[in-house]
Chain A
Amino acid sequence: MSALKETPLSGWHAAHGAKMVDFAGWSMPVQYEGIIKEHEHTRKEAAIFDICHMGEFLLSGKGALAALDGIVTHNLATLGAGKCRYGFMLNEQGGVLDDLIVYCLGGDDYMLVVNGACEESDFAWIASRLPGGLSLRNVSAETAKIDLQGPRSLEALEKALGAKWGHLKYFNFERSSFDGAPMIVSRTGYTGELGYELYLPWGKAQALWERLAAVDFVKPVGLGARDTLRLELGYPLYGQDLDTAHTPVEAGYGFLMGKETPFVGKDALADVREKLVPLEIDGRRSARHGDIVLTAGGRECGVVTSGVFSPSLGHSVALAYVKAEFAERETFVVKGQRAELPARRSELPFYKGGTARAKTA
C-alpha cells in the first residue's frame, strides 16, 4: 500500500482529535466531534474545511478563452474578470469527466478547480486538446484550499483577515494576499451557506487555518458533514451522482447547457436515458448508494447514487438515477438493504434555508 498523501493540515487534524480516513488517496479528516454536530454548527455559525486535495490548473496565453470554450460547458464569453462559474467537462459521448469551477482571472488567464480524484486525467484531457502556444500548469501541489462556510462566515473572515469583505457577491472572487503571499478569496462553496473558498500557497495554509480556527465561533468540520451538507442542497458529488455514464442534462443541469458555441460532448446531450431524481423518504432510515429504486408498482426503474439522513430536515433524502420514462412519477420505493422505503419525488434544494445568496453589502 502506498502512503497516503498529506495536506499541509493533516498533522493539525490528527492533533486536534479528527478521525482520519483515506479519501481518494489523501489522508483527510472525516469528523472531529461528530458529523451531526459539525453539520449543525455549519448551518448556524461558521466552519472551516480542509479542501487542499482538490486540483487547480492555470491556463494562460492568447486564445485561451476560445480554446477552453471548446473543452468545457461553461459559457466563457459572458464570464468577466473576477467572476467564476460552475460547469462540466464532457467526453465525446456527453458523459461527465468532471465538474469544475472556472475562474476568469482577467485577460487570457483562467484558473480551473477540479476534483482531486480527477486531477491527473483532467489535466491530460485538457492538455491534449489545447492548441500550441498556450500554457497549462497544474498547480495543485502548491495550492492550498480552505473553505469557510456558514451564516457567520463573513464575520469570521473579516475578523481573521482584518479587512472588509461584504462587497463580494456570490460567484465572485478577488485576488488578495495573506501573510505576504497571494490569496484568492472566492464567494463560493458546497454547503448552501454563505461562504468563501480561499486559495493560497501550500506553505501558508496552516497559518490561515489557525487564524480562522481562533475565531471563537469557527469550528473545523470534516468531510462527513461536508457530504451531508451538500446533499441537503442536492449538489452532486463526482463519482456518485456524476459520472461518464451520464450527461449533465441527465444529472439535472440542462439549464446550464445553453452555450451556442460548440464544446466536446455537446452533440450527445439530446439523448436522455435517465434522470437524476431527488427523493424524500419519511423517517430516519436512509437509502444508500447502490440501492435499487422501484416504481410504486414494484418495477425496477433506477438506482440510488447518494442517500443520507438529513440532520436539518429530520428525515432521509436521496438522489437516484431513474429511467427517463419513470422519472416524472411522484412515488417510488427504495429497496434498502433491510427494508423497502417508500419515497416521493421532491424538488431541489431539499433544504431551503441556506444563506449562500445572502446580501452582505
Chain B
Amino acid sequence: MIPDDLLYARTHEWARVEDGEAVIGITHFAQEQLGDLTYVELPEVGQKLAQGEEMGSVESVKAASEIYSPVTGEVIAVNEELADNPGLINEDPYGEGWMVRVRLAGDPEDLLEAPDYERLLEEESH
C-alpha cells in the first residue's frame, strides 16, 4: 500500500521525483481517511509552488481538506480528469489519481522514505 519509489510528506502527500520533475498526489491513507472524493481544487499550469504551502483542496462526502505541496517548483501539468472524476484518487491514488506535475526548483527537503512514512501512519493510528 506504500510504494517504496515515492517520497512522502507528513501531511500525506506523495511525490515521485525524476529528472528534475515531480509528480504529486495524496496517499492511500489520505484518501481512505477522507472517503469518496467529490471535488478537487488544483493549482493551474504555470503556478509556482513552495514546499509546505497550500496548493489546493479536496472535498469528500463528509469532509474537506487542504493539500500542501511536498515540493518547490512550477506546475507544468495538471490531471484534468480529476475535475469530473475525483473518484480516481480513491481508486488509484498513486497512479490515475495523480494531481500535478512540477518542474523542481531545488531538491525537496525533509520528505519521508516509505519505511518512515509507514512508521508515521502506525503512530497516527494509535
* B39 touching A286, Cβ below 8 Å: yes
Q: How far is the CB of B112 from chain A (nearest CB, A)?
A: 25
- Give Cα distance in the complex from A286 to B45, angstroms: 25
- Give Cα distance in the complex from A20 to B63, angstroms: 16
B53-64 Cβ-contact flags toward A at 8 Å (1 or 0): 000010101101
* B62 contact set on A, CB distance < 8 A: 30, 35, 224
Within 8 A of B (CB), among A143-171: none
* A288 touching B61, Cβ below 8 Å: no
Within 8 A of B (CB), among A306-361: 308-309, 337-338
The interface size bin for chain B is 10 to 19
* B36 touching A285, Cβ below 8 Å: no
Residue ID in chain A nearest B86 by CB atoms:
A284
**Interface residue from A36, A286, A288, A338 paired with B36 (Cβ < 8 Å):** A36
Within 8 A of B (CB), among A33-75: 34-37
- Give Cα distance in the complex from A158 to B59, angstroms: 39
- Give Cα distance in the complex from A286 to B41, angstroms: 12
Q: Is A7 in the interface zone, CB < 8 Å from B? A: no
Q: How far is the CB of B85 from chain A (nearest CB, A)?
A: 10
Q: Is A140 in the interface zone, CB < 8 Å from B? A: no
Q: Is B93 in the interface zone, CB < 8 Å from A? A: no
* B39 touching A35, Cβ below 8 Å: no
* A186 contact set on B, CB distance < 8 A: none
- Give Cα distance in the complex from A315 to B61, angstroms: 12
Q: Is A188 in the interface zone, CB < 8 Å from B? A: no
**Interface residue from A283, A285, A309 paired with B61 (Cβ < 8 Å):** A309
Q: How far is the CB of A34 from chain B (nearest CB, A)?
A: 5
* A285 touching B35, Cβ below 8 Å: no
* B61 contact set on A, CB distance < 8 A: 35-36, 224, 228, 308-309
* A337 touching B35, Cβ below 8 Å: no
**Beyond A34-B90, A36-B87, A338-B64, is A309–B57 a contact (Cβ under 8 Å)?**
no
* B41 touching A309, Cβ below 8 Å: no
**Beyond A35-B62, A308-B61, is A286–B38 a contact (Cβ under 8 Å)?**
yes
* B39 touching A338, Cβ below 8 Å: no
Residue ID in chain A nearest B56 by CB atoms:
A338
B28-53 Cβ-contact flags toward A at 8 Å (1 or 0): 00000001101101000000000000
Residue ID in chain B nearest A37 by CB atoms:
B36
- Give Cα distance in the complex from A35 to B37, angstroms: 10
Q: How far is the CB of A78 from chain B (nearest CB, A)?
A: 39
What is the interface of chain A, defined by CB distance below 8 A to chain B?
A: 30-31, 34-37, 224, 228, 283-286, 288, 308-309, 337-338
